[in-house]
Structure 1
């Protein structure tokens, strides 16, 4: 069985290069092997501290919290990666296995969610496991089942996305192919009863293709034909632009609370997690889970959540923190592909680009053109290249640069853009709207003047 291909078919080697660094299949980076620890449920504070200890014992003591909410242990060797896997498996953690069917850290607990996505996601996982589909799908293939609420998954890339909506008293799911919520292609609306069938039908069709395609590579018209018996109407994308909240979060059980804490640039020393785990146990936190957009969510009584926030002042506790709107990969020297010191530049930007970083846009700092930290479009991208740093406006890291900046002048370029916004932004106008109004030509002019 085949489907219309909208993008060139990928070779086997390309699919391997796109694979994720799982615990059992670590990936080589600039500072050694990297192993990913994906969790499907919160873990105890002591387990968080233990992961930090293992990262120090087996790796170089650096841990990433990825945009999708996974721990990534860095600086491993082939031998220490095997030892890490053995030690992690001994902990009996709720490790994610097989096809990622993602629901978010607050699934089933959120006082604001439209529907609990866990029953639906569990039935999808069971189908995939029963029919052994994971190995027959493309690398990085992911399903998102978004019940809504305080931490929506709109920014995550998904091959298949279900978004809960209510019409009067009935629950439905909007279906999208590929992309983020803003860029995914709507396929229609299905009832709660038909939602599992919708996803499993698409997965089963893909699994028998000669080359298993990603969601973005499928022809929406053809997939709509597959789903015609169960889809009710065209879906409408409702992209959420409000920032994800940090700090205290309300749960459906009013006796409990949660708090979201951001990890600057998605990376910390193992000692940070060890300290956080030990302090969380002391104040009575009952569970901790890595979450979307490089963050941790802690669970417990409201007073315990507040105490752990007070203890975490160096981390991100508010969406007004400028570091919350900077997406940065590990960069140089951590990654062998990187030509940009992303974290050092991010710290400079957070301190010195106050006008630029008003919360209305994402500043994407990428060590290379892969764009690992922010695969979707960003209004401003600084991308490391061999012959300089590319500034890409309103695009992806692989798009045509607006200007190539000499290595070492990136902070100066950000200063020029910050000054442009300070002078040109209208009353009540956001930085994003200001830069969009000014356009690429005006930005290039400001950069040329600022770098001369």
Structure 2
């Protein structure tokens, strides 16, 4: 057997181009300035209920999504967002830390470079594909190493000077001053655009076909000091999703705590900024009461899950419904060395990079891929309703002294125990 061919591979929802899936259309919103007010989030939640199915998401790259729209309700939702005073980011993606310019630990504020590249690439609108992206990492508390990028720029400080390490696709890095870094990024984007809307940086002549594994930083959960002496507090949505009522309640909590604004962040996190110490504690306490993640060691922080069935037309099992049980079952292994991906089809939307354990929906069951991408699944072996119990048995395996969760899984893979417990295993990458 093989995975059901995922529909619309290479396509993403956008503000002006919502994407159709099993529960209707999805509209993706990235605030142009990266931040919205508590009142705007409350209004967005109300609009999601009025025009969608009342489900909202924060993606792994820090975008807001509204689900369950129809062709007739897309325009009213777009109008409602604009009426709230939210300016959506349009065009290709340039990702920066949500704390750029506020973070005392950053090597450089990424915003001026992002503005320079966005202005320079204005003429490429409509020529670049929907997945083409630029990542500008200024350093600091919230790293972007886990974001795939066609063009990656990372700040490097040497004394008072800042240089930018620029990587195009999987190529070698060049260390350049900001104007030269911007020029190299724009040249790469122009060359990608010349190859057509299906092209990525890895299609450029001489560019390696794969990118190196930079490692995935932890979710930005908890409290972060800001340059002005105040704080940001990051809380996580359970598996990136929640009812609109949850988002409205978080908006209320942020307002009561004295937050200046709210910022969707990487790894499905919502940051409240401008808090004093008491406000940060109050916001985290209320978020915990609402069922959100507030600490980096929460087992749910290490499990990525797509919406699954029936929300997605490609799905073979209800991934997000199974995710809480999987996180609970595997909790003893989730020590920061293990990532888990519940991918209801082979497309792998929720976690594009290889995970330690990936469970892939296929006709008749779930296949396991160890240290690989969903596309490497061999065939179904385990019924969905048996997954959590098998994983609890796996997590109960005694560890050797000093052995990490990832080390235990590798040892069990070599001894064929992993296949015996969880069914078919395919290893697709060397780690």
Shared topology, TM-score over 0.5? yes
Conserved 8 A contact 1:15-1:139: no
Q: Structure 1 length normalisation: TM-score?
A: 0.86
Aligned to 1:82: 75
Gapped runs of 5+ residues in structure 2? 1-5, 425-431
Determine if the alignment matches structure 1 residue 382 to structure 2 residue 373. Answer: no
Which of 149, 152, 158 is the aligned partner of 1:167? Answer: 158
* CA shift for structure 1 position 240: 5.0
Aligned runs of 1:26-425 on 2, under 5 Å? 26-40=18-32, 41-129=34-122, 132-178=123-169, 184-209=170-195, 213-220=199-206, 239=214, 243-254=218-229, 256-302=230-276, 303-313=278-288, 314-401=291-378, 404-419=381-396, 422-423=397-398, 425=399
* 1:38-75 deviation per Cα after TM superposition (whole angstroms, max 9, x unaligned): 11321110001111000011111100111111111111
Matches of 1:186 and 1:393, distance apart in 2 = 28
* CA shift for structure 1 position 442: 3.0
Conserved 8 A contact 1:109-1:252: yes
* CA shift for structure 1 position 168: 4.0
Matches of 1:266 and 1:385, distance apart in 2 = 23
Matches of 2:138 and 2:206, distance apart in 1 = 23
Aligned to 2:428: none
* CA shift for structure 1 position 17: 4.9
Aligned to 2:3: none
* CA shift for structure 1 position 199: 0.5
* CA shift for structure 1 position 400: 3.5
Q: Note closer, same or farther for the CA distance 1:63–1:445 as it changes in structure 2 (3 Å cut).
A: same
Query: Greater CA deviation, 93-102 or 55-64?
Result: 93-102
* 1:68-116 deviation per Cα after TM superposition (whole angstroms, max 9, x unaligned): 1111111111111121011112222132111111112111111111111
Local SS of the residue matching 2:153: strand
Local SS of the residue matching 1:280: helix
* CA shift for structure 1 position 367: 1.1
Q: Note closer, same or farther for the CA distance 1:95–1:311 as it changes in structure 2 (3 Å cut).
A: same
Conserved 8 A contact 1:381-1:392: yes
Conserved 8 A contact 1:206-1:212: no
Aligned to 2:11: 19
* CA shift for structure 1 position 155: 0.6
Local SS of the residue matching 1:193: helix
Matches of 1:27 and 1:214, distance apart in 2 = 21
* 1:219-242 deviation per Cα after TM superposition (whole angstroms, max 9, x unaligned): 44599xxxxxxxxxxxx9793565
* 1:18-51 deviation per Cα after TM superposition (whole angstroms, max 9, x unaligned): 2221122111111111111111321110001111
Gapped runs of 5+ residues in structure 1? 1-13, 179-183, 224-235
* CA shift for structure 1 position 445: 3.0
* CA shift for structure 1 position 283: 2.7
Conserved 8 A contact 1:69-1:294: yes
Q: Structure 2 length normalisation: TM-score?
A: 0.90
CA RMSD of aligned residues (A): 2.3
Conserved 8 A contact 1:393-1:402: no
Q: Note closer, same or farther for the CA distance 1:335–1:83 as it changes in structure 2 (3 Å cut).
A: same
Conserved 8 A contact 1:55-1:61: yes
Conserved 8 A contact 2:221-2:269: no
Conserved 8 A contact 2:22-2:312: yes
Matches of 1:32 and 1:242, distance apart in 2 = 32
* 1:111-168 deviation per Cα after TM superposition (whole angstroms, max 9, x unaligned): 1111111100001011112xx2021112211101110111100111111101111234
Paired residues, number: 413
Aligned to 1:229: none
